[in-house]
Chains A and B, each alone.
Chain A
Amino acid sequence: MLTALLLACWAYACIWDILGPVFFLGFRPLIAGFGAGIIVGDVQTGMLIGGTLELMALGVYTYGGATIPDFTVGAILGTFFGKAEGFEVGIALAIPAALLLTQVDILNRFLNFVFVHRADAYAEEGNVKGFERMMRIFSHMIWGFSRAIPVFLAVQFGESAVKSVSTFFENNPWFNNGISVTGGILPALGFAMLLKILPVEKYPAFLLLGFVLFAYLGIPLVGIALTALATALVYQQLKYRGQEA
């Protein structure tokens, strides 16, 4: 019960963070899973589930305001069930949970109409106090509870359902293999979405360079990022040389 409440609060905090202060980027699966891992007392599982989902979802977070699978809730539930039933079960539950919650997000953005229409009424009356009260107390509730309630219910009542899922897994290794291959290729979507918004046709050479650095030279990711920064700086220095003199 306490765990369910704490995880629900964490889900609330994660969604509130991205809509308000953006202090810790809690809605990203890595962070959501990490926090859930601390709550359930298994940080390693939290990082494993969160990190895996993060890499899977990477790039679906490219637009503001777009509705995307809710990997935040996915990471929290995946961590909770992953601790008890193992990593594969956690991931296998996280993905459908994330897809299911997509619909909740759409609903919640509709329900938020309430605020803008109340705000209009307050403005007509010149009622600053009323508007401010609405913002402080209510404006985060639809977002927050739309995530917190599903998390609470799933953690509180979902365990027996999850048990039967995990038994099924043990008896059917082919199913496991299917899930793990799927987990491996889903990040392709994230990269594809990133590429779609970047001018790939204009600068294909940089993409190729990154590939060579990794695939043939085996440079670790931080090294690739630093090489990328150096390359970009040199490129701009040469390109704008004439304009600065």
Chain B
Amino acid sequence: MEAAGTKLSRSDLTRTFWRFIFFNQLGWNYERMQSVGYCYAMLPILQKTHPDPEDFKEAFITNLNFFNTNPVVGFPLILGAHAALEEAGASLETTEGLKVGLMGPLAGVGDTLVWALYNSIILSIGSVMALEGNILGPILAILLVFFPYLGVRYWQFFWAYNQGTGLISQLGSGAIMRITELATIVGLIVIGGFAPSIVRLNTALEWSRDVEVRGEMTTQVINVQQQLDAILPYMLPLIVVWAAYALLKRGWSPIRVIGVLLVVGFLGGALGIFG
């Protein structure tokens, strides 16, 4: 392919960045997932680095290949690194290698950091506030999405562009691993506390018996929930979470587990076992 590079201007990069922001997953489909969004974002740069029409066409077609990663942590990083490679006049084999090589690992890191941990924490705090009638709950959640997300995507894109080809060794330095570990620990502690606070299950069962106290017959009512609380608070919610976890671990699909929870919860509630 081309050996000489083509210098990209700041406005080329900004254009690609905003195209990425507004279009990254539009057109998502089962066949090639985020490919059209990726291609659309990269197109202004490809046009500049491939002045020859035939050469450009080939780059256009190649950049419609399968692509899928986390759109917040991962996608902008790959895009920035790709821009740097384009500027250096890298071949299509090289740039495709970069995309394929980074999208998998970054999807794993990004989905865990963004979807599983960050979103869960800010939205559960926001929801708990909302349920108390505090309008700041959803507003806070929106602010904690808007600014950090825009910032982290902007930073990744330009950081990766500036790092260029040295990126892969940078990623291997352990910084990402440490951030993931930190987020994992925070996530586990928070889930340990959130799960029993959010999953609600109490039994309404009572057990009464007649006992003889000093020669007089009285009825003694035993509240099962109080007995359970004395053994371990939030015992029933913990059992439900554990059971759902065990079923998922055995390979059940989430929809099937929802089915079981619906049946158990509805029957238990309707029959007056839980309440």
A185 and B240 contacting across the interface, CB-CB below 8 Å: yes
Our pick among B60, B115, B137 for the contact of A30 (Cβ within 8 Å) is: B137
Q: Mark A44-82, 1 if CB is under 8 A from B, else 0.
A: 100110111011001111111100110000000000000
**B241 → chain A closest CB, angstroms:** 5
A113 close to B119 (CB less than 8 A): no
- Once A120-B64, A178-B269, A219-B193 are accepted as A-B contacts, the answer to whether A47 and B201 lie under 8 Å apart by CB is no
Query: Counting CB contacts under 8 A, is B7 at the interface?
Result: no
Q: Kindly state the separation between the CA atoms of A99 and B256 in the bound complex, as whole angstroms.
A: 12
Q: How large is the interface on B (under 10, 10 to 19, 20 to 34, 35 or more residues)?
A: 35 or more
Stretch from A3-11, A147-155, A191-199 forming part of the interface with B: A191-199
Chain A residues with Cβ below 8 Å from B275 are 177, 181
Q: Could you say which interface size class chain A belongs to?
A: 35 or more
CA distance A208 to B211 in the complex (A): 40
The answer to whether A235 and B198 touch across the interface, beta carbons within 8 angstroms, is no
- Whether the pair A139, B130 counts as a contact (CB closer than 8 A) is no
List, in ascending order, chain B residues with CB within 8 A of A224's CB: 189-190, 193-194
Contacts A174-B270, A174-B271 known; 10 new A-B pairs at CB < 8 A: A19-B28, A22-B71, A25-B123, A181-B275, A183-B265, A184-B201, A185-B237, A186-B262, A191-B191, A197-B116
Q: Can you name 20 A-B residue pairings with CB atoms under 8 Å? A: A20-B21, A20-B23, A54-B124, A59-B120, A64-B71, A69-B255, A99-B258, A110-B30, A113-B31, A135-B40, A139-B27, A143-B28, A196-B248, A208-B192, A210-B188, A210-B192, A221-B190, A225-B125, A225-B186, A232-B186
Q: Hey, which bits of chain A sit against chain B, CB under 8 A?
A: 16, 18-25, 28, 30-31, 34, 43-44, 47-48, 50-52, 54-55, 58-65, 68-69, 99, 102, 109-110, 112-113, 115-116, 119-120, 123-124, 126, 128, 131-132, 135, 139-140, 143, 174-175, 177-200, 203, 206-216, 219, 221-222, 224-225, 227-229, 231-233, 235-236, 240
Hey, which bits of chain B sit against chain A, CB under 8 A?
A: 21-33, 35-37, 39-40, 43, 47, 53, 56-57, 60-61, 64, 68-72, 107, 110-112, 115-116, 119-121, 123-128, 130-131, 133, 135, 137-138, 141-142, 145-146, 149-150, 178, 181-201, 233-234, 237-238, 240-241, 243-245, 247-249, 254-255, 257-258, 261-262, 264-272, 274-275
